[in-house]
Structure 1
Amino acid sequence: MTHPGEVIEYWLSIGPGGWFRRDDDVDETIRSRFGSLHHEASVHKLDHWIDEPEHALALILILDQFSRNMFRNDARAFAQDEHARGLAKSALSAGHDKLVSNQLKPFFYLPLMHSESIADQERCVCLFHAANDPESLKFAIIHRNIILRFGRFPHRNPALGRHMTPAEQAFLDGGGFSA
């Protein structure tokens, strides 16, 4: 079985250049190397990892970030969002975000940024503001504003089989931010 430290080590090895852009090689590596671990996490077999800060971070990465890499443009990319968000909230309540490096801290907050709940979005903005992370705060505000405007992320509509409103389509056609 893969150890939580291996998840974090891999994530750090690809760095910011691999975290937030489409890269088919990264996606395939995550599928092949961590696919079975993702399955275990998705059926709650790894929820006990939440007790330790770095283990919790690894679990949240698997459910939140790895899902997006493994299942890009597919409803499964978002299927673990609620699970990841619940774990992130538990980790935040335990103060786990205060016990990891500043480079990794944002990954405790991203499940909130990925939420289509305005309450989660507002909390995410507050967390990035408190973390004094202006670059991430900028993206948190963009995400929050999309939810304020549409109540959801329009770019997810095709993958989730949701009807696209004319306003959402115009937003996307105009280069609207997708998260």
Structure 2
Amino acid sequence: MTKPEDVLEFWLDEVGPDGWYAVSEELDQKIRDRFMAVWETAKAGGLGQWLTYPSGTLAYLIVTDQFPRNMFRGSGAAFATDRQAIAAAKAAISKKWDMRIDEPARQFFYMPLMHSENLCDQEQCIRLFCERMPEAGGSNLFHAKAHREVIRQFGRFPYRNDALARSTTEVEGAYIAQGGYGHTVRELQATA
């Protein structure tokens, strides 16, 4: 059985900051091979004991928020445990457990909020990066603002529509044709 320490050692030490946001089929496959079973357990409602202490919650958030984005890149399953991750993140943040985790790993308490299609979650994510990671949160803060802008504009992430079998509106289609999230990033960079 996978333990929280196994997840943390792999993600924080083996993969590390250089690999966290890289697109790599090799890494995606490694995550599938090593952590698919623990993700399935979490999806089915297991791993509750992980949510009883800060580092266990961090491991849970990595399993439910980060790993599916790698394991199921481009498919709806990438977002299948988002609600669980958001609920766990909010509970941990309310207890200030995030502050018991060193940077840069602390960001993974806030990433479920950045991935949320709820504007209030987006606003909370930005506040948390500003207040609890002011030195190291620069790039994350910028991307949090970009995610918030997409949610402000559309109420959802249009570039998820195909994966989630949602209809794309004409306005969303035009946005995607302009480059989607990359377009939002370029616009924010131009005004910064």
| Aligned twin of 2:80 | 79
Structure 1 counterpart SS, 2:22: coil
Alignment of 1:153-164 (within 5 A): 153-164=157-168
Q: Structure 2: how far apart are the matches of 1:22 and 1:164?
A: 25
| 2:118 equivalent in structure 1 | 117
1:78-137 CA deviation, whole Å, 9 max, x = no partner?
A: 010001100111111111100011110010000000000001001001001112022211
Q: Tell me which residue corresponds to 1:99.
A: 100
In the alignment, which residue of structure 2 is the partner of 1:69? 70
Distance 1:168 1:16 in 2: 32
Aligned to 1:3: 3
1:13-70 superposed Cα distances (whole Å, 9 cap, x missing partner) = 2122321122101110000101111111111210221111111000010000011111
1:36 aligns to what? 37
Q: Unpaired segments of 5 or more residues in structure 2?
A: 183-192
Q: Deviations over 1:119-175 (max 9, x none)?
A: 100100100111202221101000000000010001100000111112212222212
Write out aligned runs for 1:17-28 (5 A): 17-28=18-29
Residues 47-66 of structure 1 aligned to structure 2 (within 5 Å): 47-66=48-67
Distance in 1 of aligned mates of 2:25 and 2:156 = 26
Q: Residue 146 of structure 1 is aligned with which of 125, 145, 150?
A: 150
Distance 1:115 1:136 in 2: 15
Look up the SS of the partner of 1:160 in the other structure. Answer: coil
Looking at structure 1, the residues matched to 149 and 69 of structure 2 have their Cα atoms a distance apart, in angstroms, of 21
What TM-score results when the alignment is normalised by the length of structure 2?
Answer: 0.89
For 1:10, the aligned partner's letter is F
Q: 1:7, CA displacement in angstroms?
A: 0.4
Cα RMSD between the aligned structures?
A: 1.1
Q: Distance in 2 between matches of 1:26 and 1:104?
A: 19
**Residues of 2 paired with 1:134 and 1:24: CA distance?**
27
Task: Give the whole-Å Cα distance in 2 for the aligned partners of 1:171 and 1:51.
Answer: 42
Q: Which runs of 4+ in 1 moved over 4 A?
A: none
Unaligned runs of 5+ in 1: none
- Determine the structure 1 residue equivalent to 2:127: 126
- CA separation in 2, counterparts of 1:150 and 1:8? 35
Residue 172 (structure 1) aligned to one of 172, 176, 179: 176
Q: What amino acid is the match of 1:35?
A: M
